[in-house]
Amino acid sequence: MRDWSLARQMLVLQLAVVVVTLAGAVTLTLVQTRDLLVEEAEGRALAVAESVAVAPDVLSALAGPDPSARLQPYAERVRAATGVDFVTIMDTAGRRYTHPNPSQIGHLFLGHIDRALMGETFTETYTGTLGPSTRAVVPVKDPGGGVRALVSAGITVERIDARLREQIAWAALVGGVGLGVGAGGTWLVGARLRRQTHGLGPVELGHIHEHHDAILHAVREGLLLVARDGTLTLCNDGARTLLGLPSDAEGRDVRDLGIADLVLPLPLETPEPSPPALSGGTAPTSPAAPGGEGEPTSVQERVHLVGDRVLVVDVVPSRLGSVVTLRDRTELQALTGQLDAERGFADSLRAAAHEAANRLHTVITLVELGRTEQAVAFGTAELRAAQELTDRVMGAVREPVLAALLLGKSAEAAERGTELVITPDSELDDLNLDSRRVVTIVGNLIDNAIEAASRVEVHLRADADAFVIRVSDDGPGLSDPAAFGKGWTSKGDGRGLGLALVGQAVRQLGGTIEVAGSAFTVRLPL
């Protein structure tokens, strides 16, 4: 039986339960029915005996010379009318005046009469001339209260058993129908269970569950299953770590957990272009595609900022809700930022090398033409301009990482035709701050300004209690100040994270951001 599938084991178990239940119910019903039939027979016999005992004709017949002549026809009429098997009237010695079999008249009554002689009415089951019977014995009293005679009426056990056999037939029929219905229902349940378990046994199902549980909780990526009503039905260890969910998150509503905007699917049709509807993420990147059974199965990929993590969230709608996978892209985002910075420096160096080659060619040509003084003036002017930019930046910003960043951004801005100006009142020494986060703030603000304007001003200064960063430009400005918390982008490609990363870094350093048109002011406590 251990080799049977789970469906077969459940089928056999349910059939056994149905059979045992029906057998117990039928047996209990029959026992109760027999008790009721015996009780009914006793009640009828008692009622008949009591009626005969108080009949006036009985006392008058007993006073005559031949009581049997009058009592026998009377007793038979009563027996036929009431449906009992015998009505026996006897004297106080137990000698019969009446009996269904006339040959038994005059013989002694077979049964107990002691209690009746004492004036008591009682019932009993006793074997008489007609076989075992349930009977009642009642005294016949004269007007003075003395016992003048006795009356016994009864129903044979065979007749009671005959009625019980009729009930057994009906009970067997009902039990057979119930067994058939139960077996059919059990078979249907077993068939459904067989389809759902693919015919696997408990051992195989246990192994599958163990493997599923081990894999589910071993992967670093987060996995969530969200029902249509918003209930979180599954959450692995990776998701708990990435989202900071409590241990009792499963079974709770995602709205109560504060991750509804993260895990619930977006509408399949969204206007283009528009900012994403969910905070902390970008719009879906996959077009809607028809799914099985008329349900959408498109993958909605978004980028969210959760705490200090950058997460790529994939939401796949399904018939039962949605499947959400989470991938931590924090390290990759940091490497991407560094790569973008290095690429910018390389592009700036390549542009500078190209310009240097042109200027060197110009100087050589002037020398060949014999215009030495003009060649010297042209070369020294270019060197002076580059040196002045370096001196101005290094003089104002003595923090080496920020100085290198500003020099690189200056070259990049010049290549793009944008003027990047360090304000004269900028002054900054070494900071006791996380340089990586500071570079994230300054670099992204300058990048956004360069893309939006033709002139950018940067002010950096450390006051007594705060480091102030102000980046302004002559562009249209930011119309949505809340974009720092939404991962919003003006590029329209749904992938911008610059402002969101700025907001994240400022929050991590305990600072504030103020936006006034196209001027961004960041204050970081020292």
* pLDDT one digit per residue (tens) for the chain, 526 residues: 556 665 667 777 777 877 888 788 878 877 887 888 888 888 889 999 999 988 888 888 888 888 898 899 999 999 899 889 999 999 988 999 999 999 889 899 998 889 999 989 999 989 988 888 899 999 998 888 888 899 999 999 888 888 887 777 787 788 788 778 877 877 787 777 777 766 666 666 666 767 777 777 767 788 888 888 888 888 888 888 788 888 888 888 888 888 887 777 755 444 444 333 333 444 444 444 444 444 444 556 667 677 667 777 888 887 778 888 888 776 666 666 566 656 656 766 676 676 677 777 887 888 888 888 887 777 777 666 565 556 566 656 766 777 777 777 777 777 777 888 878 777 776 667 777 777 788 888 888 888 778 888 888 887 777 888 888 888 777 665 555 554 445 544 444 567 777 777 787 788 888 888 788 888 888 7
Task: Report pLDDT for 122.
Answer: 92
SS3 category, 442: helix
Task: Report pLDDT for 330.
Answer: 67
**Exposure pattern of 246-258 as b/e (b: 16+ CB <10 Å)?**
eeebeeeebeebe
- Please count the other Cβ atoms lying within 10 Å of the Cβ belonging to residue 466: 15
Phi, psi of 343 (to 5 degrees): -65, -40
Task: Report pLDDT for 501.
Answer: 76
CB 124 within 8 A of CB 137: yes
CB 84 within 8 A of CB 41: no
For residue 303, which amino acid is it?
A: V
- 457: which residues sit within 8 A by CB, 6+ positions away? 421, 422, 423, 470, 471, 472, 473
Q: Of 415, 438, 392, 396, nearest to 345 (Cα)?
A: 415
DSSP structural state of residue 286: S
Task: Report pLDDT for 2.
Answer: 59
| Burial of residue 352, with CB atoms counted within 10 A of its CB: 0-12 exposed, 13-18 middle, 19 or more buried | middle
- 279: which residues sit within 8 A by CB, 6+ positions away? 261, 485, 486
CB 148 within 8 A of CB 89: no
List the beta strands (DSSP E) in 297-432. 300-306, 309-318, 321-328, 419-422
Task: Report pLDDT for 189.
Answer: 76
Q: At what angle do helices 157-197 and 6-53 cross, to 10 degrees?
A: 160
- 481: which residues sit within 8 A by CB, 6+ positions away? 515
pTM for the structure as a whole: 0.43
CB 271 within 8 A of CB 253: no
Could you please report the per-residue DSSP string of 337-375?
HHHHHHHHHHHHHHHHHHHHHHHHHHHHHHHHTT-HHHH
Q: Of 331, 62, 11, nearest to 193 (Cα)?
A: 11
